[in-house]
């Protein structure tokens, strides 16, 4: 997911200012080369955005070259797993099929119910069995201002399958969705209601896309941590996951050239994948257009 679903954490996924000041321009890129520290060959690190309008889909020659030079694709989830969608569905519902209506004041339940009925033809009575993070993802999907969307994860997994590159996932759907089980349901519902009341999803999606296409990974990271649920739970949703990935990546890079594609919001910041790899002794250098 993406680290992948909430208003502040999905393309999951949201963004604006750099915290590195003057160094931002020098290090602004979505694609990075990882070398040194005893590696026999280079690997590549690429920041994705989980959903983007088709006309904004950025896939240039430097990215395709890096992918072609790699021997294995590493993503947050193994998108080639034929059971993936079934697993996501299994872990997307509340335990015991509990409906979240009982956790909402009537006026807030009415806001969510009205939105779901308008956009999905079913209200809380039916869809309230889904976890709040899933409902937030559903709400975000309806704010995207374009008819055709593209997925980097889908594009890259298709290319990997066509070129017979192995694919591995850093996490499982159960783990990713389970992250949000550790956040109070009231906090998640407050975020969802706020987004629907303010009708802010479209503006945030535009901001996210603009910052992503500027290849401003520090900007993406900063906005994801700027306020709300993500600011309070950034250690859980971002930092701890980044740290857990490093040992996996180190082991995999020893024997194969990797193309590592994870949400761009995971790359920046002092606990981002780039800093953590550098702290572990690797050279991590931007590959610019």
Give the tens place of pLDDT for each residue, 129-166.
Answer: 999 999 999 998 888 888 899 999 999 999 999 999 99
Q: Give me the domain span that covers residue 51.
A: 23-92+147-286
pLDDT the model gives residue 132: 94
Write out residues in the chain with pLDDT < 50, as ranges: 1-26
**181 within a domain of the structure (yes/no):** yes
Instruction: Provide the b/e sequence for 33-51 (b: ≥16 CB within 10 Å).
Output: bbeeeebeebbbbbbbbbb
Identify the bridge partners of residue 287 per DSSP, sorted by sequence position: none
Asked if residue 136 is part of any domain, the answer here is: no
Q: Which of 54, 44, 34, 56 is nearest to 215 (CA)?
A: 56
In this prediction, residue 15 carries a pLDDT of 34
Per-residue confidence (pLDDT) for residue 110, from 0 to 100: 96
- 234 falls within a domain: yes
**Does the residue 114 lie in any domain?**
no
Backbone angles phi, psi at 73, to 5 degrees: -100, 130
- Is residue 88 situated within a structural domain? yes
**So what's the pLDDT on residue 64?**
98
pLDDT the model gives residue 227: 65
Residues 245/170, Cβ–Cβ less than 8 Å: yes
Predicted structure pTM score:
0.87
Is 48 part of any domain? yes
The total of structural domains in the chain comes to: 1
């Amino acid at each position: 997911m993406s680290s992948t679903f909430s208003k502040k954490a999905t393309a999951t996924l949201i963004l604006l200012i750099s915290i590195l000041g003057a160094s931002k321009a020098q290090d602004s890129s979505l694609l990075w080369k990882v070398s040194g520290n005893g590696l026999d060959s280079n690997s590549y690190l690429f920041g994705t955005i989980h959903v983007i309008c088709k006309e904004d889909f950025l896939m240039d020659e430097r990215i395709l070259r890096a992918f072609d030079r790699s021997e294995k694709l590493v993503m947050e989830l193994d998108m080639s797993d034929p059971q993936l969608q079934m697993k996501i569905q299994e872990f997307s519902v509340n335990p015991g099929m509990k409906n979240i209506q009982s956790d909402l004041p009537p006026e807030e339940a009415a806001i969510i119910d009205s939105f779901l009925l308008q956009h999905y033809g079913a209200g809380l009575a039916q869809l309230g069995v889904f976890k709040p993070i899933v409902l937030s993802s559903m709400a975000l999907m309806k704010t995207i201002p374009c008819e055709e969307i593209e997925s980097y994860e889908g594009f890259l997994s298709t290319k990997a399958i066509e070129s017979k590159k192995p694919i591995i996932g850093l996490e499982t759907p159960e783990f990713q969705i389970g992250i949000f089980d550790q956040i109070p349901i009231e906090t998640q519902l407050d975020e969802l209601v706020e987004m629907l009341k303010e009708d802010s999803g479209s503006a945030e999606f535009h901001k996210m896309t603009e910052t992503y296409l500027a290849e401003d990974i520090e900007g993406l990271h900063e906005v994801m941590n700027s306020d709300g649920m993500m600011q309070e739970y950034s250690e859980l949703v971002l930092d701890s996951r980044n740290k857990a990935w490093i040992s996996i990546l180190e082991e995999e890079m020893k024997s194969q050239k990797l193309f590592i594609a994870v949400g761009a919001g995971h790359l920046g910041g002092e606990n981002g994948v780039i800093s953590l790899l550098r702290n572990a002794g690797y050279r991590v250098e931007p590959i610019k257009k």
